[in-house]
Structure 1
Amino acid sequence: MSTTPSLNGQVIGLAHYATRALLERELARTGTTFVESLALNATADGGGSADCDQLVARLTTGLKIDDDSAWAALAGLTETGLLEEQPAEPSRLRLTAAGQERQHRIRAAAGGITARLYGDFTTEELAVAGRVVATVTARANAELAGA
């Protein structure tokens, strides 16, 4: 007899790693790392350009990685021509045409994964799960900030 496990860190972690493995498989087809994909998404979410320091802060805060790893991802995206410095503001990066195409491809792949994994849950189920996970994340981040 199988029972549904209670929600806890292990269950959330297993869901995260399984989902991320699906995304990583798609990212491998594009030659993009997970961190780079998040930087592309953040830049696109900012209207196609973003302040470098804010991008690094978003990556380090969200992924719990160090500054060097975040800067390395931005350097990789710049070296491959997916991001470029804005001539008038070198502290800002913008998506190139190739970067926009790659980001759209990644977002479409992530959307497909999301639809397959979450598509049969009700709006109410997703709302409750979202609130629980967001609250756990906020609590963990508060503890990390206090450490």
Structure 2
Amino acid sequence: MDTTAPVTLNPSVIGQAEKHHTAVLTRALAGTTLDEKQWIVLNQTVAAGAPVDPAAHITRVAAMTQWNPGDAGNALTALLESGLLRETSADLVEPTEDGTALAGKVRAETGAIVAAAYGAVSPEDLATAARVLTTITARMAEELART
């Protein structure tokens, strides 16, 4: 492959970046009980900063990831059963201390790798990439909503 040829953003470039992000996450999850779906549900619960309504959380995560809501619900159930999430007295869901600690460990491990990779790109280029990818994602979401 000619590495001097200009590269333009296309599905292959996006897919390769996504696959590398997934590989970094998979490495960080090795030795835990979490799969990618459980990780995302746990991480989003921790990121909420407050207890979440389980049904609304499942709907939000499913929409964000394009998963079947049942898959997000199964991940949430597995996290409750493993003790990484718990139900509150108000029928909400929140991370346990173990869940928060595990999320912090995975974030630290992936964060170091991601920060090094993203640090090789100027802030201006990262901002442009974010705008472009956000626009592409929004257009694809519109198309998916039509079918």
**Normalized against structure 2, the TM-score is what?**
0.92
Deviations 1:34-84 (A, max 9, x none): 111111121112214211012111221111111211111001101110001
Deviations 1:87-128 (A, max 9, x none): 2x12x1011111110111122122112112111111101001
Aligned to 1:51: 53
Q: CA deviation at 1:141?
A: 0.4
SS in 2 for 1:5: coil
Indicate conservation of the 8 Å contact 1:78/1:84, yes or no. yes
Structure 1 residues 47, 82: CA separation in 2 closer, same or farther (over 3 Å shift)?
same
1:111 maps onto 2:118 in alignment:
no
Aligned to 1:11: 13
1:102 maps onto 2:102 in alignment:
yes
CA distance, structure 1, for counterparts of residue 113 and residue 38 of structure 2: 18
Q: Which has the higher strand share?
A: 1
Aligned to 1:83: 85
CA distance, structure 2, for counterparts of residue 113 and residue 34 of structure 1: 17
| Identity between Structure 1 and Structure 2 (%) | 34
Indicate conservation of the 8 Å contact 1:49/1:93, yes or no. yes
CA distance, structure 2, for counterparts of residue 58 and residue 107 of structure 1: 21
Aligned to 2:72: 70
> Please, which runs of 5 or more residues in structure 1 have no aligned partner?
none
SS in 2 for 1:106: helix
SS in 2 for 1:49: coil
CA distance, structure 1, for counterparts of residue 48 and residue 124 of structure 2: 29
> Please, which runs of 5 or more residues in structure 2 have no aligned partner?
none
SS in 2 for 1:32: coil
**Normalized against structure 1, the TM-score is what?**
0.92
Indicate conservation of the 8 Å contact 1:52/1:93, yes or no. yes
CA distance, structure 1, for counterparts of residue 30 and residue 96 of structure 2: 20
Query: Once superposed, what is the RMSD of the aligned Cα atoms?
Result: 1.3
Q: May I ask how many residue pairs the two structures share in their alignment?
A: 145
